[in-house]
Structure 1
Amino acid sequence: MKTWKALAAAAALSLTLAGCGGGTGASDNKLTVWLMDGSAPDVLIEELNKEFEQSHPGMKVDYQIQQWNGIQDRLTTALTSNDPPDVIELGNSQTAQFSSEGTLLDLTADADGMGKSQWVPALAESGAWEGKQYAVPFYAANRVVVYNKELFQQAGITQLPTNRDELLATITKLEQTHGADPDFQSLYLPGQSWYALLSFIWDSGGDIATGQGAEYKGALDTAQTREGVEYYQQLVKTSATSAPADTDEAEPQQAEVYAKGKVAMMIALPWEVQTAAKTNPAIAELSSAFPIPSKFPGKTAPVFLGGSNLAIPGGSADADAAKDWLKLLTSQKYQTKLADSGVVPGASQDTSALGKNPVSAAMAVASKDGKVPPPVPQWAAIESGQNPLKDMMTAVLTGQKTVVDATLEANDKITRLLAANN
């Protein structure tokens, strides 16, 4: 057994002996909160901490901002220490791993008081393990089709695409108008943008993995999944994108490519528009968005909900106070403030505040059909390692493998990785 698993088991045992109230240490009247850099506006957290301290005389909040780089190791170390933080933020694809290790406090009995009835379903699922709730939804974001209004207008496009065929027709019309410009791209779509790929796989009725509890296996070996892959392949071919086939949207940063004003569309997160505007301020006013179109009329394609959950370490010496902090954050007051910051609030289904910006408004519409990867501990390693989905798409787009052969190979790899350490 790996060392970290042994430590995790020891921590779980200590928690059992200590009872459900939290760790064995005495309260130090300090609530230590770890949130990730950029997760929530400072002004929101400052207001929340002030309100919390007013209702908990003598207790202070020690708010610490963490960086995503290296967080997995820091969390593993902190959760098995004698003095862990009291509230932590976890990526939704990380949550199952820590939940399964027994290092997080069981919040099942507290969930209703934290607004469970309003939680975003996909995030709620990612924070559960074996029928118990170990994490509370924090926030989410999903991809939309960001487009350059000026380039659309010049091509005479007045109706936005509402299904897959219309998206292909839009690309064709853009190419007819702007294709003579060697720098123009109707759709910038990197080969390994697997988050975007998931929308087309799910929309076709396929999946990447299926199962129950800890028992999951690959699900790419189906006609439905292959249809989604083939549509992605068709988008790349029709748009003649210059995006690399062997990297994702971060290499190069697609927002920087879009900023040049020669890209008509990109499948992106809303804040990538603001990233582009740092280079070209005019691009913000030129940009709008629509949900990723579905093959089914009147629907939008399912989207990957990337985001975070909040949990209480099992060894927290101030678990009751930590629960109160979470109850405050999941209240409608602070969920609305989260939405005002431009993200989908995890503990509220009211996304009306996102309607103030057309790009965020499109995200809110699409988020209603949000999904997350398999809620199993092994998925975090698949996502952060040599992701078989990325290799699959590169092989297909470069002609190294047929769609059938590439999906079979990726399916076998995912099945093996999901079975590891089961």
Structure 2
Amino acid sequence: MKRWLKLAAGAAAFTLATAGCAGSGGTDTAASSSGSGPLSGTVTVWLMTGSAPATLTDALNKEFETAHPGVKVKYEIQQWDGIQQKLTTALAGGTPPDVIEVGNTQTPAFASQGVLTDLSGDKDSFNGGQWLKGLAASGEYDGKTYGVPFYAANREVIYRKDMFEQAGITKPPASNTEWLDAITKLKAKFGSDPDFQALYMPGQNWYALLSFIWDNGGDIAKAEGKGYKATLDTPEAKAGLEFYKQLVDASGTKAPKDADEAKPQQATVYGAGKVAMMIGLPWELATAAKTDASLTDKTAAFAIPSKTAGQSAPVFLGGSNLAIPANSKNVAAAKEYVKLLSSAKYQGQLAAAGVVPGTSTDTSGLDKDALGSVMAKASANGKAVPASPKWGDVESGQNPIKDMLTAYVTGKKTLDQATADANAALDKLIGG
């Protein structure tokens, strides 16, 4: 699941090389395509490396084949490197796989190209009543559903219990005010150490910024017709950016202001023992513990606080969706496979593997892990980035949100200028 650090950073943009390649659901036999008779043939499934443990997929495939004696599962694990082009080529061809996993920020782009099957009428059979709301939104395009939530993860505040205790902090912060107060107490206790950082806060952790913008009632863009209009220059979005800078200034962070949490890897910095808090994903602790194994027992987590006491801020949900290519030759069998994978039985196993299930509200499998349980609870208040087909251009290129953050936290631009410039750049990428 550590590969999730890569997935949560988003997906690159892509375009289909072949126009008009979309089909209407393949060329199954009448029985297979309508579901009116026994299924037959082969259902080819592409899931990504690290997405589901072999114990889950082995049991799933066996159960599926037992339930459908006429169908064989051809299960293939795909690598993240190069998957963009591989999927693009496969979906443009006449013999694509039947079930695919796609990143949640990729789904609208594929859907806009007409290469995914419309699953709007099948939501109930995929446990639609329990879909993770924030992740479900990423599978929608132009009022229809093309992606079934698979699993997700979200950030939280990971902290040193021992440092909190020594600084006299008796409980995790439950508001922005308490969070800033905790930083003050930590600096008072440990600030004589020139290497100490109360909160490791790089200048471009824009996923954390999303929480602050959403918490203040803002957003980065809003739907406008079939496109999106950037909203980074609204008072609500500006309030989120102001709080981000407040944290950077108060934290004593030594993180670069022109890079994100991956440069350098913040888990490695946390592992050096001089950081009291970082905003990250649960499994980053395992990376930190490679440097200092004692951190496993010394570390806990709390949800990203809200400006409203007693609440947590909305969080960005990164994750994957399940989709069925429009040109699949075995759509009926593919739907039955997704139905089984989205059942409570197998979604529960995903939770036990350390991620938030996409089609089940039962996250008890994460309860055994202190950091995972906090993530699961916060995920209920999760959101996705705008479901724009062009969103990949934002993350794969010169991300205007990152540029905005660096310009503002370094003082190179005022709040109004930084947000205005970012808004104009974002409009060029996803507007229209």
TM over 0.5: yes
Q: What's 1:324 paired with?
A: 336
Q: What's 1:282 paired with?
A: 294
Q: What's 2:350 paired with?
A: 338
- CA distance in 1 between counterparts of 2:127 and 2:26 reads 26
Please identify, of 37-46 and 305-314, the stretch whose mean Cα deviation from structure 2 is larger: 37-46
Residue 9 (1) aligns with residue 27 (2): no
Q: Which aligned pairs between 1:259-270 and structure 2 lie closer than 5 A?
A: 259-270=271-282
- Shift, 1:17, TM fit: 12
Q: Which aligned pairs between 1:365-380 and structure 2 lie closer than 5 A?
A: 365-380=377-392
- CA distance in 1 between counterparts of 2:76 and 2:199 reads 40
Residue 303 (1) aligns with residue 315 (2): yes
Per-residue Cα deviation, 1:318-337 (whole angstroms, up to 9, x for no partner): 11111111111111111111
- Change in 2 beyond 3 A, CA 1:14/1:174: closer
Residue 131 (1) aligns with residue 143 (2): yes
- CA distance in 2 between counterparts of 1:21 and 1:416 reads 41
- Shift, 1:352, TM fit: 2.4
Q: Which amino acid aligns with 2:280?
A: A
Q: What's 1:195 paired with?
A: 207
Assess if the C-alpha contact under 8 Å between 2:21 and 2:115 holds in 1.
no
Assess if the C-alpha contact under 8 Å between 1:130 and 1:213 holds in 2.
no
Q: Which amino acid aligns with 1:107?
A: L
- Shift, 1:317, TM fit: 1.1
Q: What's 1:97 paired with?
A: 109
Q: Which aligned pairs between 1:355-370 and structure 2 lie closer than 5 A?
A: 355-370=367-382
- CA distance in 1 between counterparts of 2:289 and 2:24 reads 51
- CA distance in 2 between counterparts of 1:87 and 1:306 reads 20
TM-score (norm 1): 0.94
Q: What's 2:134 paired with?
A: 122
- CA distance in 2 between counterparts of 1:286 and 1:348 reads 31
Q: What's 2:90 paired with?
A: 78
- Shift, 1:43, TM fit: 1.2
Q: What's 1:348 paired with?
A: 360
Assess if the C-alpha contact under 8 Å between 2:24 and 2:327 holds in 1.
no
Residue 171 (1) aligns with residue 166 (2): no
Please identify, of 4-13 and 274-283, the stretch whose mean Cα deviation from structure 2 is larger: 4-13
Residue 226 (1) aligns with residue 238 (2): yes
Secondary structure of 1:270's match?
Answer: coil
Deviating beyond 3 angstroms after TM superposition, the runs of 4 or more aligned structure 1 residues are 3-6, 12-22
Assess if the C-alpha contact under 8 Å between 1:148 and 1:261 holds in 2.
no
- Find 2:267's aligned residue among 255, 280, 289: 255
Assess if the C-alpha contact under 8 Å between 2:149 and 2:322 holds in 1.
yes
Secondary structure of 2:149's match?
Answer: strand
- CA distance in 1 between counterparts of 2:237 and 2:71 reads 52
Q: What's 1:246 paired with?
A: 258
Assess if the C-alpha contact under 8 Å between 1:33 and 1:87 holds in 2.
yes
Cα-Cα RMSD? 2.0
Assess if the C-alpha contact under 8 Å between 1:200 and 1:228 holds in 2.
yes
Assess if the C-alpha contact under 8 Å between 1:8 and 1:103 holds in 2.
no
Assess if the C-alpha contact under 8 Å between 1:146 and 1:287 holds in 2.
yes
- CA distance in 1 between counterparts of 2:15 and 2:417 reads 37
Q: Which amino acid aligns with 1:162?
A: A
Please identify, of 318-327 and 271-280, the stretch whose mean Cα deviation from structure 2 is larger: 271-280
Per-residue Cα deviation, 1:217-269 (whole angstroms, up to 9, x for no partner): 10011111111101110101111101111111111111111111211000001
Assess if the C-alpha contact under 8 Å between 1:129 and 1:213 holds in 2.
no
Q: What's 2:118 paired with?
A: 106
5+ residue gaps, structure 2, are 1-13
- Shift, 1:51, TM fit: 0.9
Q: What's 2:395 paired with?
A: 383
- Change in 2 beyond 3 A, CA 1:4/1:291: closer
- Change in 2 beyond 3 A, CA 1:363/1:222: same
- CA distance in 2 between counterparts of 1:16 and 1:230 reads 55
- Shift, 1:65, TM fit: 1.7
Q: Which amino acid aligns with 1:192?
A: Q
- Change in 2 beyond 3 A, CA 1:246/1:43: same
- Change in 2 beyond 3 A, CA 1:73/1:344: same
Q: What's 1:406 paired with?
A: 418
- CA distance in 2 between counterparts of 1:70 and 1:230 reads 38
Please identify, of 60-69 and 243-252, the stretch whose mean Cα deviation from structure 2 is larger: 60-69
Per-residue Cα deviation, 1:176-218 (whole angstroms, up to 9, x for no partner): 1011112211100111110011000111111100114522110
- CA distance in 1 between counterparts of 2:40 and 2:336 reads 16
Q: Which aligned pairs between 1:37-48 and structure 2 lie closer than 5 A?
A: 37-48=49-60
- Shift, 1:121, TM fit: 1.2
5+ residue gaps, structure 1, are none
- CA distance in 1 between counterparts of 2:40 and 2:64 reads 16
Q: Which amino acid aligns with 1:95?
A: T
- Change in 2 beyond 3 A, CA 1:17/1:41: closer
- Shift, 1:298, TM fit: 2.1
Q: Which amino acid aligns with 1:164?
A: N
